[in-house]
Structure 1
Amino acid sequence: MRHTLRLLPLPLGIALCLPAFADDKPLNWGLCPATDVLPAFTDAPPADKAAVATRDQQPTDIEGDQLYGTSTVPQYEGNVALKRGDQFLGTDHLSFDTDTGNYRAEGNVRYQDSSIRMVAQRAEGNQESDTHKISDIQYQLVSRRGNGGAESIDLQGAVGQMHRSTYTTCDPSQPVWKLSAPQIEVDNDEGFGTARNAVLRIGKVPVLWAPYFKFPIDDRRQTGLLYPELKVSGRNGFDYTQPIYLNLAPNFDDTLMPRYMSKRGLMLDNEFRYLYRGGRGELLTAYMPSDKLRDRDRGRVEYSGFHNINSQWQARANIAWVSDERYVEDFSNRLLGVTASNLQSQAGIYGTGENWSGGLMADYWQLTDYTLTEQSLPYNRQPRLFGTWDKPVLPWLDVGVYAEAVRFTHDDVNYKTRTPEGEYIRNGQVKTSGIGVDGGSRLDIKPYVSLPFTGASWYVTPTLAWRYTAYDLEQGLADEIRQTNLAAAGITNPTPEQLRGNTSPSRSVPIASLDAGLFFDRETTIGDKPYLHTLEPRLFYLRTPYRDQDELPVFDTRDFTFSWGQLFRDSRYSGPDRQNDANQLTLAVSTRFIDQNSGRERFSASIGQILYFDDSRVSISPYSIPVEKGKSAWIADSNWQINDRWNLGATYQWDPKYKREDLASLRARYLMSNDGIVNLTYRHRLNPNGSELLEQADLSFLYPISPSWSLVGRYYYSIQDAKPLEVIGGVQWDSCCLAVRAIARRYVRNREGDLNNSFQIEFVLKGLSSIGQNTDRTLRRAILGYNRDDLYLVPPSNTGASRDDYDPNQIP
């Protein structure tokens, strides 16, 4: 029969209480028993999440073995079942007073919906006043893992109280951890709960006690404490951080992070975030009133954000500042962090369209390495206007242009202080010739025409470009360039006229290139497996006439590191301050073996070399070694996926002129079962002058000993310096509902090679949160493939943003 009786709002009182601590990180429940804590009720309707939204509009069906009493107070006896949408309530006996709204359910009370399954001994209350009391409860979450119990729960409308309640994601037979509280108050309208005297136990040992705290029970954010971070290091000592979350508004929040370091003192970190329809941003700040190790105030400011002006234009900014040149060394916990010698701040507007891109921006650099001087900083670009445009006019004709206008400045005050007469002061002494690095302006324009002729197995692309670069320099910088050139030429007593530099130098040069390639393929069989074997020869000819560029400054231009990509560029420099003369031909060939059953590339290899028909006279400075006529180093690269577990790779550069190995890199990766991995890398590189740059070996691994235990480690060693750069050793233990990671780390913390020690431990309470330091972040950086979702990614560099948003030296 049908009745208007509403089902009890049990999910509001139980499913959203203690389980609300759960985080969103995907977890591995593979070690858990495959059984339900509370088996599904056979007489309940199948779970239907789609019915949740309409359950309030649906009537309730009531069934039972017997119906007696009166029409005013009907009573149901034996296998009583109430069903509405996805909800089910079963009991042995149910009575309901239609006049007063009172009801009582006794004996084997069972409730189930799409989010929770529950059993209780008794439920009673009043439907009209929306008050309910349920006694002796056991529950299991359905939509996520979690179970527990409560002595009783009292509900009055949207407000409820749970008495002597527990929550865990462990199986009752293995209660590794449990969270319990004598009393929890829940307000579903406000979206938060209040727990009193809550205790977290691991095994039988209490590890965390909170006399009073509030927590969210839905997606609405609430002000309160977050879980602390604990760690110990040789530089900071005992390190404790207690995050405090502040929910300021629906679209912005703030997290205060008081941090105590026993060897340094108290630091206050802060993270402010905002979000709106057209953009978002984040402001990070830190302040330490008095660092006991440095005897000074310390701090930092970082901001990143963007605003979408419209569908094509966006304004964005990334701003960073630190209080001193050793801040990054002292408070960066990453090996890459201590190698960054500067911070870049930039802001601008950027646009993109179907055939164009452009922007207007400015940037500023700050020194973060105490071993260097501000003279080593890059020039600030204040401002920089750039744009690109390219369009296929015909199927065989592309036209385009790169353009950039920049004003360069520098903040090295020792180099730009002047007397009233306009003379320069350096290190307190007046200099008659300029040495100021005030900077100047640069205009760079590069239009091009390209003819991409292609066929099914070939392509030929001739390209003709014209590059015009003009400058407006400060007189001091022009004089410095002239003085450097005179010294390089051996002129020791120049006349005053010779010392005065050109403040408006320019360069105009044509650039012609021809890129051509063929594709051959054949079907072959290796063993019993069919493969598609390809052979891909490629020629690239570049012709650029010589232009004298000695009077041009070097603002943001460097030599490219010689690599495979450099074989096919029209300049060997990263910026427009230099355009090398060239009469050269690149010969290259690649081959691949593609598994025709899976489509995977099982083996690939490439080799190439540049033939220089003439000496290249342009260099980055008068003292640089020019490129001589002859042959470049051979560049070879290969990758072999032996099977689904083994992968080998190698890169090699051999210079036939000097008969030396310029670069050797070997890579090996082995994937184990149970998510284990081993990475082994060797790198050796020489400087362009032949001196040793680096020789390093890197071993990292995640080795599962058993389904529960695994070892993690990294040994990153500099063979050249005969010392480790980073050593990590740790152990991981995993169970159904608890994981523990403990790692010890020894790493280089500054350019002087000083080492630091740290110890990190983290308890991951699955379905609740983690306590300790974020060891997962450290291991993901140190062990490529640690989570198996980054096997083909290169760890990101944090040495700063790219100097350019486009590359005018890349062949279109």
Structure 2
Amino acid sequence: MRVLVFLLLLCMPLALNAQGAATLVADTVELNADEQLVATGNVEVLFDGSRLTASQIIFDRPSDTLQIIGPIVIQAADGTIFTADRATLDPRLENGILQGARIVLEQQLQVASNQIDRREGRYSQLYKTTATSCRVCGTQAPLWEIRAEQVIHDTQEKQLYFSNATLRVRGVPVLWLPRMRLPDPSLDRSSGLLIPTQSNTTQLGFGIKLPYFFTLGDHRDLTVTPYVSQETTTIELRYRQAFANGDLTVEAAVSDDTLLPEARSYLFAEGRFDLANAYQLIFDIETVSDPAYLVDYGYSDKDRLDSSVQLLRVTDRALLNARLTNYESLRDDEADASLPPIIADLSYESSYDPAFGGLLRYGASFDVAYRYSTVDGDAGRDVSRIGANGAWSDSWILPYGVVADVQTALRTDIYMINDDVAFAEDDLRVTPSMGGTLRWPLGRVSTTGATHLLEPTVSFSWADAYGGTPPNEDSLRTELDRANLFAISRYAGEDRIETGVQAAAGVTWTRLGAGGFNSTLTFGRVFRQEEQEGFTNTSGLNGKNSDFLIAGQLIAPSGFLFDTRSLWNGVEDPTVVDSRIAWRNDRVTLGANYVWLGPDAEEDRFETISEWTVDAGFVINDAWNLDVNARYDLAEDRPVRTGATLQWRNECVTVDVSASRRFASSSTVEPTTTFGISGSIGSFSTGRATGGLATGCGN
């Protein structure tokens, strides 16, 4: 018969001093003449979050020790599990000796030892030790293991210190180290060597990266990565710091290679900080020594760098945005002066509900586009603009469910222009506009439970510009889509506005299936009184009447997605086609994008663009994963980029093998093939849990 005994002062006085009571459960409990408490049969001790089970426990009160006969299992409060054959411990399970012992950390890393000495409840000293996160099958050697003469586990610092350690793979020694320190699996951050990676590129040859991570307190860290290959010696840096009101990240590298005679480098930094009164400070810094450096080393594919600092405040009724941006082009056929390189803008918008109804919006803005050059014309022109605007809008539901929206607005801009005699130095432009939209939502529910919504829509608008025509700095790239089909002006910026009388007509059909099979289809076109300037041939908006817009989306509960947008100048004359198709389930992820753009000299595109981009992921089984991607230029009949990554993973090892090829057409950037391999052993990467298929123990 099991007996429950609460041992307060009689058996465990130290437990009482620790402000905790120990609980002993056993089949039989007796107190002998030698002041020994003997518990036998299914013994269990609970104390301060720790749990011990054994076949027999003898508590010797004069020596204040526990003699424990196994099999012994101790589950500590921090999740650590000890198993042993025999043990001598104090009643608090903090000091003593365990023989034939094993420690399991975070249910990931198991450490077996002939003997474990427990000290101060913090240190465990192990002798003749084997550590692994792989499943151990009898006498068969695990996939990997570390054997050491001595291991000290510091549970407070969460570190493992190995002496005379040897790394073995399937029992074969591959690396010996006299001293080694590794984090235990429960540690989130720790200074030390991170997972090395290997790469082999046609540009830089075979190389090794050895990242070292420094914890600079609880809120900062630095990663230093030496990268050495046949063609380069590089130091990569990453610095991160978390503040009470924001964060900062800096990434940089310096290289001495055989590709260029001078040193090469880059620096990317970004930060975001919350200030008082809902303000945010956001900044982004990007700089590089030469146009090809980022691509040669695989740091980024950007062909334009933008460094900016921004002050932003967003509330329910107001928006304040102040930003300064510097652009740097890395393209062969583009000079910084044509961008322009420096853009400054300041804008404020607010709204409120007037007593007479509707919504009243007003705002002001200031923009500067500055070029370093002082030559006359586009390459040297500097433009400043200061403007103010106000708009009123309202909506009503008319008979038969027709929804009417009305808007009227007035905008005033003053332009100041330097270094371009084609425009007046000072110019004033006043732009009034008004418009209205009628929508008639028609809905029905079919016998299958699907909901159908048909929404024909027409809009009418008028706008005009009184004053001069400023240079177009911010409205160069605009395309017709579902979002701007019924807008009064579809230009992307403030320098241009659609004038005259215009109308837009369209219809949207939406089906919401009872089983989650949903679809949407939109058809529309814009009609104008007069042709507009500034729209390119492939924008879909040039001429009096726009191209036909056809856009749709199909979503299936099985994971299928199809999304498309196309512009048509005629029945057989597409201008733009942009589509994506995707499908996914638990084991397969497939996605493909197709883009077709006709030639357009105004967008510096003299040939047709027709490209496929494909990305796919396959979970082959519980151990193998394959990811592939490719980009192919159909117009040029050549690949642009291909890549594949194969991963094998079980409960204790992860190995990634990758290969990629970039087919460059630039004279600055050379085609590059890259091979890489990286791996990690489970349980020794801070903050990373092991996973994957647990290998079985076969006969």
Per the alignment, residue 567 of structure 2 pairs with 653
* 2:346 paired with 1:377: no
Give 3-state SS (helix, strand or coil) of 1:565's partner: coil
Per the alignment, residue 312 of structure 2 pairs with 350
Which amino acid in 2 is paired with 1:255? T
Per the alignment, residue 524 of structure 1 pairs with 446
Of the candidates 220, 238, 245, which is equivalent to residue 271 of structure 1? 238
Distance 1:532 1:84, change over 3 A: same
Structure with greater strand share of residues: 2
1:549/1:578 contact within 8 Å kept: no
Per the alignment, residue 581 of structure 1 pairs with 499
Q: Aligned partners of 2:424 and 2:564: how far apart in 1?
A: 48
1:316-375, CA deviations, whole angstroms, 9 ceiling, x for partnerless residues? 211111122222222235xxx43x332111113211222001033322122333443222
1:396/1:452 contact within 8 Å kept: no
Within 5 A, what are the aligned runs for 1:128-527? 131-140=95-104, 144-157=107-120, 158-173=122-137, 175-205=142-172, 210-217=177-184, 219=187, 221-263=189-231, 265-288=232-255, 290-332=256-298, 337-338=300-301, 340-382=302-344, 384-393=345-354, 396-411=357-372, 415-416=373-374, 437=380, 439-454=382-397, 457-474=401-418, 476-477=419-420, 479=421, 482=422, 501-525=423-447
Of the candidates 585, 588, 592, which is equivalent to residue 680 of structure 1? 592
Structure with greater helix share of residues: 1
Per the alignment, residue 482 of structure 2 pairs with 564
Q: Aligned partners of 2:360 and 2:496: how far apart in 1?
A: 23
Q: Aligned partners of 2:498 and 2:146: how far apart in 1?
A: 69
2:220/2:242 contact within 8 Å kept: yes
2:195/2:678 contact within 8 Å kept: no
Of 146-155 and 761-770, more deviation after overlay is shown by 761-770
Per the alignment, residue 607 of structure 1 pairs with 523
Distance 1:359 1:181, change over 3 A: farther
Per the alignment, residue 698 of structure 1 pairs with 613
Q: Aligned partners of 1:125 and 1:358: how far apart in 2?
A: 67
* 2:47 paired with 1:84: yes
Q: Aligned partners of 1:620 and 1:122: how far apart in 2?
A: 85
Q: Aligned partners of 1:196 and 1:561: how far apart in 2?
A: 67
Distance 1:300 1:69, change over 3 A: same
Distance 1:149 1:725, change over 3 A: same
Q: CA deviation at 1:296?
A: 0.9
* 2:638 paired with 1:638: no
* 2:84 paired with 1:124: no
**Normalising by the residue count of structure 1, what TM-score does the alignment of the two structures yield?**
0.75
Greater relative contact order, per chain length (Cα 8 Å cut-off, separation 6+) = 1
Of the candidates 736, 751, 758, which is equivalent to residue 666 of structure 2? 751
1:346/1:362 contact within 8 Å kept: yes
Sequence identity percentage? 18
Of the candidates 459, 472, 490, which is equivalent to residue 554 of structure 1? 472
1:379/1:555 contact within 8 Å kept: no
Q: CA deviation at 1:532?
A: 0.8
Q: Aligned partners of 2:235 and 2:13: how far apart in 1?
A: 49
Of the candidates 529, 534, 540, which is equivalent to residue 619 of structure 1? 534
Distance 1:434 1:148, change over 3 A: closer
Give 3-state SS (helix, strand or coil) of 2:485's partner: helix
Per the alignment, residue 726 of structure 1 pairs with 641
Which amino acid in 2 is paired with 1:545? D
Q: Aligned partners of 2:115 and 2:330: how far apart in 1?
A: 59
Q: Aligned partners of 1:546 and 1:506: how far apart in 2?
A: 10
Q: Aligned partners of 2:168 and 2:281: how far apart in 1?
A: 49
Give 3-state SS (helix, strand or coil) of 1:375's partner: helix
Q: Aligned partners of 1:345 and 1:634: how far apart in 2?
A: 38
Q: Which runs of 5+ in 1 are unaligned?
A: 10-53, 417-423, 425-432, 483-500, 771-812
Q: Aligned partners of 2:494 and 2:553: how far apart in 1?
A: 34
Q: Aligned partners of 2:17 and 2:608: how far apart in 1?
A: 70
Give 3-state SS (helix, strand or coil) of 1:553's partner: coil
Q: Aligned partners of 2:554 and 2:572: how far apart in 1?
A: 27
Q: Aligned partners of 1:7 and 1:667: how far apart in 2?
A: 72
* 2:506 paired with 1:540: no
2:587/2:620 contact within 8 Å kept: no
1:578/1:620 contact within 8 Å kept: no
Per the alignment, residue 663 of structure 1 pairs with 576
Q: Aligned partners of 2:48 and 2:333: how far apart in 1?
A: 70
Distance 1:247 1:732, change over 3 A: closer
Q: Aligned partners of 2:335 and 2:457: how far apart in 1?
A: 45
Q: Aligned partners of 1:247 and 1:706: how far apart in 2?
A: 37
Q: Aligned partners of 2:104 and 2:617: how far apart in 1?
A: 34
Q: Aligned partners of 1:608 and 1:670: how far apart in 2?
A: 28
Q: Aligned partners of 1:709 and 1:219: how far apart in 2?
A: 28
Q: Which runs of 5+ in 2 are unaligned?
A: 687-699
1:176-231, CA deviations, whole angstroms, 9 ceiling, x for partnerless residues? 44444433223334443323344444544556655433344455743222221222
Q: Aligned partners of 1:653 and 1:435: how far apart in 2?
A: 31
1:378/1:556 contact within 8 Å kept: no
Give 3-state SS (helix, strand or coil) of 2:426's partner: coil
Which amino acid in 1 is paired with 2:87? A
* 2:66 paired with 1:106: no
Distance 1:737 1:516, change over 3 A: farther
Per the alignment, residue 419 of structure 1 pairs with none
Q: Aligned partners of 1:464 and 1:386: how far apart in 2?
A: 20
Distance 1:466 1:666, change over 3 A: same
Give 3-state SS (helix, strand or coil) of 1:254's partner: strand
Distance 1:722 1:521, change over 3 A: same
1:396-453, CA deviations, whole angstroms, 9 ceiling, x for partnerless residues? 4101123211233223xxx22xxxxxxx6xxxxxxxx677626242112221111122
2:453/2:511 contact within 8 Å kept: yes
1:101/1:128 contact within 8 Å kept: no
Q: Aligned partners of 1:207 and 1:571: how far apart in 2?
A: 69
Give 3-state SS (helix, strand or coil) of 1:505's partner: strand
